[in-house]
Each structure stands twice: as C-alpha cells, then as structure tokens.
Structure 1
Amino acid sequence: MLHPNRVLIVDDEFIITETLRIYVEDMGLEVCGTAATADSALEMAHAHQPYIVLMDVRLQGERDGIEASEDISQQVGSKVIFITGSREPATLERIESHHPAAVLFKPVSEGQLGSVVQKVLKDAPPSQA
C-alpha cells in the first residue's frame, strides 16, 4: 500500500537532493529515501511505497529517470513529479509519454514544489497510519 506522506527523491546531485529534502520536510512530509540511479530508485520505491517520487531525468548509470519512472509507476504505483533542467523537445516528449503527475524545471522554488505536491496529494487515498 502506498503511503501518502512519503516522498522518494531521485537526483544524482547532492545539493539538489538536500534542497528538495528540506522543501519536502517543511511541508510536513517524510523523505523515505534518496537515490542517484534508476535501479536504486526502483529498489527504494518497492521498499518504502512512497505516494510521490521526485524524479530527475539524468541519473548516474545506464538508465535514466524516465525509464525508472515507468518501472516505478507500473510496479509500485507511485506518482512521479519530474524535476528537470532539460527543455529539449525530445526529452520533454519522452517525459510526457509516461504521464507524469507534473513536470517542474530547475531551479525549483519551495513554493512551486509545494503547490504541485499539494495538487498530487489531493488524489491520495486517506492515510492508514
């Protein structure tokens, strides 16, 4: 079962990961983990069942965030919010083809992230905790 108060952060840049962690925790949500690769993101999503995954496109390793998001959405059911620095049309088309919950462009402000997360959480099932 997905946990509406849990967020997984997937980005291979430490400063961005930590900034997003602060933003998420300031919203009163739990960061259940961080990952820098597609494989570790999928592993953590299975282990922690986050309702939301904040996903960068470019990650360490052979697979990217778009591939990871497809696996996570299909296997776990988490909602994926892409946070990317890319505005390349081909990349944006790939992102959109995977039906993300939202797409934000770096740099992301706390207000932007909070607004999008709240919209995504409106569809979350009531917490069973």
Structure 2
Amino acid sequence: MTEDRPIRIARGKRVTIADLAREAGVSVATVDRVLNVRLPVREETAQRVHAAAHAIGYHAAGLIKQRLQQHLPHYKLGFILRKPAHDFYQDFARNIEESVSMAKSFHGLPIIEFAQSHLPRDLLPLLKDLG
C-alpha cells in the first residue's frame, strides 16, 4: 500500500494485525475496530484497511470486506430485456449482474427477465413477477 515504506513479510510467516495496521497507516486498535465492529470507524479508513489487507494477503481480508458490507442497504433490482437469443442481450444481462455484484454502496440482487415482445400482455406478467 504505502510506497514510501513497503511492508516486508518473511516468506511463510503469517501476516499479523500489526503488519496490517502498519500497511494501512492506522493503529492496531483501529484494525481491531474494523475487524470486530467495536466502534464506528470512518468508511474511508475501513476501506483503506480492507485494501491493505487484500494487498498484503491478510488471512481475514474476506471477513473485513464482509464486515464493511453488512450495514449496506439491500435492493432487489428488476430488469426486463428483449430478445433472449441475441448475444448482445445475453452480454448485457451478464454485465448487469457483474456490475451489481461489484457495487460498493449497496447489496443488490439483480433479477433479469426476458420479454418475448414489447406488447403489454407479455410485459405485465414479468412486471408482476419482479414486484
């Protein structure tokens, strides 16, 4: 993380909380607060700890990410696309799913339906299912 003082971990040695704190430029207590959700930590600081954990291979980087996301709002996102057999729409659907999964400000569940036509009689059941 920090270019001016890169962390050096001996090969085979497990990365410690102290190593993570040093790499993130925060105190061990701050890392503990991020890991255990003890007291509020600024979002920017928590993100920096997560990025440092990922960069140095800290064994609980996934847990830190999970802790950061647990307070995020949950949304169900519905999409109705046309022409299910066309590659463009299949790629578009995959891109929607990928983008929603990478969102950092919310948890999203993308629900993608394909309409056979643009007629209301075909769209109405899909809209009801999405609601």
Normalising by structure 1, report the TM-score: 0.29
Normalising by structure 2, report the TM-score: 0.28
Q: Greater relative contact order (Cα 8 A, min sep 6): structure 1 or 2?
A: 1
Bigger helix share = 2
Bigger Rg, structure 1 or 2: 2
Bigger strand share = 1
